[in-house]
Structure 1
């Protein structure tokens, strides 16, 4: 990319929340400022989250408290994608058993569906999303309804979710209760499946979107599935080792330490003889191992290293033992200390 900044090529940012804009209740350092600058430049901000527990209004309120520009209309949730998916498959006004929080209930009502909490209501569908007070009783009601033939939809399949205390069980882990008890696998609405991206495009009308996320298996894979560009920021779940060993379906278009990279020219790795270079770094695959030499901005080194590792791996994943030697060079001092995942 030339002297333009990274953000210049896009009209809309489709931003993940947990691990990108905030961790728990607190902002990722520098994220609100980067988003305000993007909005000032006329770029549309859409907050696209797999978390179905809260309403768009509650999420927008939280973002505003952190200093990020947001209104309820800027928030797209897996609950909204799940509600549309259900509404397209059941009769208008149908009862839908909600194994989750208020975000799911509000989204279903917006599509003219009737949220219920018991299988006695004979629901046409069961929709499950993460909620802090999810109970055995509600999971049991969901299992009973699914056994009786109700459509089973999961807002997302995230096995974990990042918080300020570490990674906690996500909705994907919780849906295993009903799936194991009934033998029925849910239809998934959230990333990386297409329904949430479709919902985002419907709501934003984006022509040139950039997906921004912190997870390879949801954000980046979802962008690849949708055929759009992606930016992986190292402030949440994915770390350098995850990137170096990423399979072809989870390799981002761009990678950076944090959202401030949106406002700088992006230095992409280039082919150089038998290896790859990026700024002051040179990476090559030799003797069955990844080699990295040079110095400078660590994110440039990681870009060069990923290019070499991905080329060598082709359609497979690079072996962890073959790439981990480069981590000492990348993580020397506090070079990549912008977030909790940057040291693994």
Structure 2
């Protein structure tokens, strides 16, 4: 894995990588709505020989349901091209529990199915003395479900969360995610759970092993989950600006959250990626755009359209300065638009 900075690719990423590990919300779609250029770009990448696996922190849905939604958005997908946090959660449980162990599942049908397929017995009450609690998101969860989880964890059950995303994107905005519900159980018990979902690289490794990928590429919209998982797993990551984390977030990202590539949207799969270069006067240049850090602030060459290259130059300048201990300060970085 390269240093925590942007790298270049003279050929389109769809040609230099054999498998794309693609996030869902904020990348392939937004809630139940399509994202511009997602279907056509993924289709073109597939036509060029790149294989796709959709890797999601959502543990409430079956792979079949996810595949059907993607197919309905003109992204033809089979269930075996979907890797969910529910599957990763079940795999994590199997590292400590024997088949037949009792697991209290607090979540949707996707998590129930994954836990059962892993050979565990699903129970519904702390009174059943479960060996573990598997907690995943479901919009139908209520106080009673969280209370059962808390009783079981306080009684010694191993608490495993499918993910700890505090929020999730919907068509109406951001809503509380599984991490917010997990936090309620943590507040009641004082016990921190283990987590199977991103930013743990568990799902990425499962997908890579499943396809025997040689040159995988992680694609995501969240620096703190998708790209942090890529960095911790040693995989190059493409950050697309169609979801949660903005261009400004990328500029201010610490080393552990930084992507290897930046793109405005999934068309970035079909394009070369110029590597930013250090220039005179403290400037960093990418294409015909430039940026530099001056004191606590970020200065951007404003000539011409913004474009993604200005974001790439800004990231290179800010990251180099931050790694040298000289800024920029958050208040010195304005919003950027690709």
User: Scaled by the length of structure 1, what TM-score is found?
Assistant: 0.92
Question: Secondary structure of 2:89's partner?
Answer: helix
Taking structure 1 as reference, are residues 139 and 234 closer, same or farther at Cα in structure 2, changes over 3 Å only?
A: same
Counterpart pick for 2:33 among 26, 34, 56:
26
Find the counterpart in structure 2 of residue 218 from structure 1: 225
Question: Secondary structure of 1:4's partner?
Answer: coil
Counterpart pick for 2:254 among 244, 247, 250:
247
Runs of 4+ in 1 over 6 A off after TM superposition: none
1:146-157 paired onto structure 2 within 5 Å: 146-157=153-164
**Is 1:314 equivalent to 2:323 in the alignment?**
yes
Question: Secondary structure of 1:283's partner?
Answer: strand
CA deviation map 1:70-125 (0-9, x unaligned): 11000001110110111221121112111100010111111111222111221111
Query: For this pair of structures, how many residues does the alignment match?
Result: 328
| Deviation at residue 297 of structure 1 after TM alignment | 5.2
| Deviation at residue 3 of structure 1 after TM alignment | 4.6
Find the counterpart in structure 1 of residue 333 from structure 2: 323
**Is 1:123 equivalent to 2:133 in the alignment?**
no
Find the counterpart in structure 1 of residue 199 from structure 2: 192
Q: Distance in 1 between matches of 2:328 and 2:91?
A: 38
Find the counterpart in structure 2 of residue 108 from structure 1: 115
| Deviation at residue 202 of structure 1 after TM alignment | 2.7
| Deviation at residue 44 of structure 1 after TM alignment | 1.0
| Deviation at residue 39 of structure 1 after TM alignment | 1.2
Once structures 1 and 2 are overlaid, which stretch shifts more, 41-50 or 287-296?
Answer: 287-296
Q: Which has the higher contact order (CA 8 A, sep 6+)?
A: 2
User: Scaled by the length of structure 2, what TM-score is found?
Assistant: 0.94
Counterpart pick for 1:175 among 155, 170, 182:
182
Find the counterpart in structure 2 of residue 87 from structure 1: 94
CA deviation map 1:223-264 (0-9, x unaligned): 000111000000000112111111111111011110011111
Counterpart pick for 1:292 among 286, 293, 300:
300
Taking structure 1 as reference, are residues 250 and 119 closer, same or farther at Cα in structure 2, changes over 3 Å only?
A: same
5+ residue gaps, structure 1: 337-344
**Is 1:278 equivalent to 2:286 in the alignment?**
yes
| Deviation at residue 308 of structure 1 after TM alignment | 0.5
Root mean square deviation of aligned Cα = 1.4
Q: Distance in 1 between matches of 2:92 and 2:270?
A: 36
| Deviation at residue 267 of structure 1 after TM alignment | 2.2
